[in-house]
Structure formats: structure tokens, C-alpha cells
Chain A
Amino acid sequence: MSHPRHELDDLLGHPVRFSVVAMLAAAERAEFAFVRDNVEVSDSVLSKQMSALEQAGYVKVSKGFVGRRPRTWLSLTGDGRRRFARHLNALREIAS
């Protein structure tokens, strides 16, 4: 049996990306500003990390309007959820 560290996801090793994905894992979708405020990062930091996660196929970014106000919604893809679940399981094994 291989060590659980082999199941860890490199992309989720980054603390901001891990926090963002952990938040999105509990959400069906979340507003960009909600994630930014709760993870306590700047717009540019979150945008950069979201680009990396979106390019890797972990996160879906969709834009819409509420009235005349633009809103950006973030959600995990099915693949992103599976990878996060695997990463979390590996962490649990290491922690136990």
C-alpha cells in the first residue's frame, strides 16, 4: 500500500487555493466577493489563484448580473470535487 502523500494534489498544496477550494466544496456556488472577503485575500490574489484552478479544470467561473450590478460566481467542477475529496482523504490518513 502506498503512502497517502501520493494521493495529495499538488495544486491544492497552496494555502490560498486550498482555502478557496475547501469553501467552494461546501457551496453549490459562491460569489467572488464572498470568497475574497472570507479567505481574506485581495481581488488580484484571488483572481490569480482562480485562473490557475480554472485552467486545471477544478473551478468554473460564471458571470451574471443582479439588476445592473455585475456578479462573478465561482463553483467547483465535478473533477474539482473528486480531486478535493481525494486530497482530503489523504490528509485524514496522514492525520490519523
Chain B
Amino acid sequence: MSEMQPSPPEPSRAVAVAALAEAERRESQVRRAADVQLAWILGVLVAAVLVIAGLMSAAFHVVGPVVLGVYLLAIVLVALVLIRIRVYSRRGLQIFALSASAFTIWNALGAAVSVATGWWGPSAPTYHLGLTEVVTVLPLLVGVWLLLRRRS
């Protein structure tokens, strides 16, 4: 730095502390506004999977069109939440993506193991399908918990 160059003004320690507090406050505003919406989306997915699991366990023979209806309703609800989102937090999106990815992998694993072990099969009771689905939503529930915990 040249000696002729003017020195930038030096903020006091109090000014720096106030600026850091302001940055913290803005981060908190984003976190509170954004993460609850993402938790709602995961919550809708959990509800859809559990309703379908219940239907498959109780009345497997009539479940086809009802499952379609539940999925359509879930899509509409997710779209309504998406329209309302005004801010996406970086950390919230990471939790959401991790939770959804873990659910996809865990769900596929659950189905593969269920078929391989005969837990799912023509002679197996229908509630086996429902029980497997209850286990496969765990990553989504963890995602909801992590997102809601960040609000506090």
C-alpha cells in the first residue's frame, strides 16, 4: 500500500459488534421464514406416503385410483406451498435435498429387501406393505425435525 493512499476509516469495536449482530439477525429472519415452508413440503410427502400405506394395508384391492388421488392432492398442496415461498435458505435447501435423496434411496432399499426376503409377496399379508412404508418415511421425518429445529 502506498503511503499517499488515504487510510480507510477505522470502525470502533462497538460498530463492528453491532454489524455482526445485524448480520446474525438477517440470517435468523431468512431461517425462520424459509425452513418452515420446506418442512411443510416434506410433511405433505410423509402424509401422502402414510395414507397410501394405510390404504394398501386395509384395502389393497381398491387402492389404485385412490392412490392416484392422494398423489394428485399431495402435488396440489406442494404447489400451493411453493407459490407462497418468498425465500430459500441455503442450509434449509441442503437439509431438504439430503432428506429427499435419503428417502428415495431408503425407499428403494426397503422395497428391494422386502421382495428379496418374501416380506412382500403374493402370500404375504397386505399390512406388510404398510409397515415397510412407515419405516421408509424416516428420512423425511428426520428432515422435518431438522428444519423445524432451525426455527428456534
Contacts and interface: CB of A to CB of B under 8 A. Distances in A.
Contacts of B19: 18, 91
B151 interface: no
B1 interface: yes
A90 to B, nearest CB: 8
A6 interface: yes
A30 interface: yes
B9 to A, nearest CB: 8
B13 to A, nearest CB: 6
Contacts of A38: 26, 29, 33
B117 to A, nearest CB: 41
Contacts of B87: 27, 29-31, 34
Interface string B1-30: 100000111110100110110110011011
A63 interface: no
Contact of B30 (A8, A18, A23, A94): A23
Contacts of B29: 23, 38
A66 interface: yes
Contacts of A67: 83
Contacts of A5: 7-11
Interface string A12-25: 00000011001101
Interface of A: 2-3, 5-6, 8, 10, 18-19, 22-23, 25-31, 33-34, 38-39, 66-67, 88, 91-92, 94-95
21 contacts: A5-B11, A8-B11, A19-B22, A22-B22, A23-B26, A23-B27, A23-B29, A25-B27, A26-B89, A26-B91, A27-B34, A27-B90, A30-B87, A31-B86, A31-B87, A34-B86, A38-B33, A66-B83, A91-B11, A91-B16, A95-B17
